[in-house]
A and B are shown apart, each in its own frame.
Chain A
Amino acid sequence: MSDSFPPFLGSRRRLRPFLFAGLVVVFLGAVGALYRYGVMVQSEIDNLAIANSDSLQWTLAQLEVEYFHMDGALLRARPDAPETMAEFGRSFDVFYSRVHTILEGRGFASIVTPEVAGPEIGRIDAFLHETAELVDAGPEALAPALPALRDRAGALEDDVRKISLEGVREFASRAMAQRERVFSSLMLLASLTTALLAAITAGLVITWSLWRFGMRQTGSLSAAKARLEAVIGTSFDAVIVVDHEGKVLEFNGAAERVFGYSHDEAVGRNLNDLIVPEAMKAAKVAGFKRYRTGGVPRIAGHGLIGLQARRKDGSVFPAEISVTATRIGRKEIFVGYMRDITDRVAAEKELIDARDAAMAGEQAQAEFVAVMSHEMRTPLNGLLGTLELLRETPLDASQTALLASMQKAGEILLSHVNDTLDVERLDAGKLSLTREPFAPMSVLDEIVQMQAGAAAARGNRLSTRTAGRLPEAVEGDAMRIRQVLLNLVGNAIKFTRDGTITLEADYHRDQGQLEYRVIDTGIGIPAAETERIFDDFVTLDPELSREATGSGLGLSIARRLMRAMRGQIGVESDVGQGSAFWISLPAPVVLSLQAPVAPMPVVKAPAPPAPLAPNAAAPGAAPCSADDGPALRLSTSVEVLVVEDNDINRVVLCEMLRRAGHSIAEARDGVEAVEKAAERRYDVILIDLNMPRMNGVDATEAIRAGTGPNHETPIIAITANVLPEARHSLEAAGVCRVISKPITRKMLDQVLAEELCPRLRQRPLAAPPAPAAEAELPLVQAETRAELAQSLGPEMMAQTLQRFLTEGAAMVAALTRATAQERPAETAALAHKFAGSAALLGAERLHHRLKTIEVALRPATPGTAPDAATGAALDALDALWTETRTRLEAAPASQG
């Protein structure tokens, strides 16, 4: 369109208003001038039309005529002829009148001026005045004066002549002046007319150019329209243009193909009746209405939108539509581009199905891996156990070397399987975390204990330190944190030789963030790798990693675990200088009530063995000591009941214990275990959880439930698959501890030491296996309480006591016959928890009572009334609580 116009069109367009205004001004000016000069000319014409003077020349001519008349009459006048006298009088009067007309008349002012004919007219006037007196005096007075008058009148001839001539000259010049004035006015008018003509011509030229502009505009418009029609007509997309009411204005060829209506059928009809499926009509109408009333459009201007459209034959198909609202003048129109996407939708569906199938396959594969890994652990466990037993048999040097290789390979295989299971569990979100109080520093101490040997093997020194003051206890999943830190420390040991590895704990109180750092002086990590190392299957030093446990999953599992705990993991490292791995996670400070914050209840190397004095009255008294390694071991032999259905595992386990010097009893399932436990007392029971007939949990409950010899014996559960969520039920059942297969000798020694030492030390089993009656127990065991006070310090002790008292009141209120009947399991758990707290503070009578209640209620089904004894115990709980509380409150000073 614009190609047919010069480039300055734009500036011309800008100037157009000025141009127009200029033209208007010129036109108005011309009209004004024309009017003004028209008025001038008009007045000139009027001047001509209105005679300001009579015919002046006539008057001047008459002056001479009437002068001669008078002169003649004067000559003829004879006193004896009165009519001649009268005629003189009359002709004098006429002359007199004429002269006065000249003197007074407007047209003669320029003549009677002194410079022109003043003296002459003066002389005539004087004559007239003097003669008038004579004439008025009558014929008698006039007669004698006649001769003198004749002389005087004759003398006036030249004067009269002079006036006439002056008049002729004056009027000639005056006529010329007037002619010139008229001429100039006419010239002005003519030039104005010319100017007007020029303006009209210019107007015509402008009109003509505008007409040509319009013609060209029309031409390019129709060309553009033709082009647009061609574009729309050949478009593959259906193009439909509707007005604001939905009436179709345009319907292109593609639309005809897509919808089945012809152009003529469609144009003029409402879009609703054409292509909107019946079900959607109401929404469409509402949408248009909303848009018209100023609402926000849901379709127009929103890019591509997928919706359903209807063909002429009524079939509905998926369409993709893009609507643009635009304004032409004051009318709004909508341009819609539509495409039948039936094929694409079908293709997409196929793709989605394929993807879903693929994902299902992957899921199945993952599950397969998980199940297989799990299934591999049990036989692997058996294999490793057998190898350990084999090592105890007499072997020659080469056999020992082979065995070591086998064991090493078996351990690596096991760690791979464990890693795989961890990854699968974390990725599937099956991991559940516990939130329990733990001492931040104890985690590090445990790790040092476990890893000190490995570190020393590579010449590394492993140490811990705290940055700032740590809280006594925080809440979190200590086991998972330990798992992560173990991985980091393992790596540090692996990549450091003859260096130091420092474990640091730090707590940011303002953010409630617990931070651990593992700092080594090893080979370091290139900066480019610091992010990558947390990815799956990344091993920086293939040789070194493969040699050890490197499945390449360690750090990625660590990162997964940290993410699961809403924490972070990271590393800062300089190649050759060392690495500092850190983890940080939210861990609120708590008061530890359930788990006493106590020093490690073991003696660590290199402290000399310090066997605890065995209580003579206690057959199972087991003093513990640490041997030359960091591992713990009981220094005395104990009696162990091993419950395991898997023959190989049971044999391995028994053999390990026997070698450690313990005496063994075996049971093949839960039922057998319960029977055995009823026969005699054991120091500890190791029980597998998954067994036929009766599983470990049920067996534990049964053993705990009765008043049999083992109802207080520590029970350690063994499982191949520890589900964290199962831990609570295990605890509720009375399991003290859960250990994971495979069981190693070292692990066994440590667990037995940990479980038996504190018990033997804190509450010697020297007392009768079960006190005959609650009344025989002290209300508050002063020793226990003193020990606690020592561990906690006065401040913490006071807080703990206060918390116990507060909590206790609520507990007592909740432990009633009613709750016992309605929710026995819950009540049992409450009693269990409360019992733990009571034991901690040495409230032994209360502890006993609660344990009794717990044990009685655990197997009960909801709705069953508690038996008479339990009911009575519940009823009397309040009284006992009051008593205990009074005692606890009364004696704080002595505890300081």
Chain B
Amino acid sequence: MPIFTKTAKAVLILSRFLLVAAGLALPAQSALAESAAPAPAAALPAPTGPVMLTVTGRIAGTDGIGMARFDAAMLAALPRREFATSTIWTEGVQSFSGVELRSLIDHLGVTGGTLKITAVNDYSVQIPVSEVVAGGALLADLRDGKPMKVRDKGPLWLVYPYDSAPEFRNEVVYSRSVWQVDRIEVLP
């Protein structure tokens, strides 16, 4: 057991360093991708307000090269969920409201692959679609009922119900809790 724990810890630490390295290396690439973003798919409605989230990659109806953009109203129209939890980055318990990541990818017809989620500050994580389950990650757009600014880790914050179960209180979950989310790319 201790040996395992040690090993696990070593693996975790190692992966963290790799991620740091990746995080340092990514901004340039993503900036390129962003500039080459394709037009949104005809099947998806166009946003009318400021775009809060852009989803690209292998999403339905786009043959893997489409793009979906969401404004606040569009996100509000999707199935929503709300829970209250504390986080290790903030003080006190807050209520988070938004769209479950699962609902989102279901809405977009994503069936497999990996989600690469990127923040305004270019922090980025990859989450296998198979690990995106209902009752898990929430793409929150409201904190305590109010929209979040970039300074308050908005506009979107991928949060988990940390308080509800220990399985949501580990490094992997914390590392996937991306704030200031503005892009998601569905990788094969």
Q: Interface of A with B (CB < 8 Å)? A: 41, 45-46, 48-55, 58, 61-62, 65-66, 69, 90, 93-94, 96-98, 100-101, 104-107, 132, 182, 186
Contacts and interface: CB of A to CB of B under 8 A. Distances in A.
Contact of A45 (B1, B20, B151): B1
A53 B180 contact: no
B2 A54 contact: no
A596 B19 CA distance: 156
Contacts of A52: 88, 169
Nearest to B15: A55
Most buried by A among B1, B151, B177, B180: B151
Contacts of A101: 89, 153
A132 B150 CA distance: 12
B84 to A, nearest CB: 17
Given A45-B5, A186-B2, A54 B152 contact: no
B88 A105 contact: yes
A50 B153 contact: no
B63 interface: no
A107 B89 CA distance: 8
Interface string B9-40: 10000001001100010000000000000000
A48 B89 contact: no
The A interface, classified by DSSP as helix, strand, loop or mixed, is: helix
A96 B151 contact: yes
Contacts, number: 81
A55 to B, nearest CB: 5
Contact of A97 (B1, B8, B174, B180): B180
Nearest to B148: A97
B151 A100 contact: yes
Contact of B179 (A45, A49, A51, A97): A97
Nearest to A92: B151
Given A45-B5, A97-B180, A101-B89, A54 B174 contact: yes
Interface in B140-182: 149-153, 166, 169-171, 174-175, 177, 179-180
A65 B179 CA distance: 17
A66 B121 contact: yes
Given A54-B171, A96-B151, A49 B8 contact: yes
Contacts of B170: 49-51
Nearest to A66: B121
A132 B151 contact: yes
Given A48-B5, A48-B9, A53-B88, A58 B153 contact: no
A40 to B, nearest CB: 13
10 contacts: A45-B5, A48-B9, A49-B166, A49-B170, A52-B88, A65-B24, A96-B150, A104-B91, A105-B90, A182-B2
A529 to B, nearest CB: 110
B74 interface: no
Contacts of B174: 51, 53-55
B121 to A, nearest CB: 4
Given A54-B177, A58-B16, 12 more contacts: A41-B2, A50-B170, A51-B174, A55-B16, A55-B174, A55-B175, A69-B121, A93-B151, A94-B121, A96-B150, A104-B90, A104-B91
B127 interface: no
A51 B120 contact: no
A55 B169 CA distance: 13
A90 B16 CA distance: 25
A97 B153 contact: yes
B150 A106 contact: no
A49 B170 CA distance: 6
Contacts of B121: 62, 66, 69, 94, 97-98
Nearest to B16: A55
Given A94-B150, A97-B153, A106 B88 contact: yes
Given A48-B5, A58-B16, A93 B88 contact: no
Which 4 residue pairs of A and B lie closest in terms of their CB atoms, listed nearest first?
A: A93-B150, A94-B121, A51-B171, A50-B169
Contacts of A96: 150-151
Contacts of A90: 120, 150
Contacts of A107: 88
A691 B177 CA distance: 159
Given A66-B121, A97-B180, A58 B20 contact: yes
A52 B169 CA distance: 7
A50 B152 contact: no
Interface in B37-77: none
A41 B1 CA distance: 10
Nearest to B27: A69
Contact of A93 (B5, B91, B120): B120
Contacts of A105: 88-90
Contact of A49 (B5, B16, B89): B5
A131 to B, nearest CB: 11
Contacts of A94: 120-121, 150, 180
Nearest to A106: B88
Contacts of B8: 48-49
A388 B118 CA distance: 176
B26 to A, nearest CB: 12
A188 to B, nearest CB: 12
Contacts of B150: 90, 93-94, 96-97
B120 to A, nearest CB: 6
B108 to A, nearest CB: 26
Contacts of B91: 104
Contacts of B179: 97
A356 to B, nearest CB: 102
A588 B161 CA distance: 124
B20 to A, nearest CB: 6
A771 B9 CA distance: 162
Nearest to B24: A65
A167 B2 CA distance: 27
Given A49-B8, A94-B150, A104 B89 contact: yes
Given A48-B5, A49-B170, A94-B121, A54 B89 contact: yes
A709 B66 CA distance: 186
A830 B62 CA distance: 161
Nearest to B171: A51
A132 B89 CA distance: 21
Contacts of B16: 55, 58
A51 B151 contact: no
A61 B88 CA distance: 18
A97 B152 contact: yes
A110 to B, nearest CB: 14
Contact of B149 (A41, A93, A186): A93
A250 B121 CA distance: 100
A51 B169 contact: yes
B2 to A, nearest CB: 5
Contacts of B149: 93
A106 to B, nearest CB: 5
Nearest to B172: A51
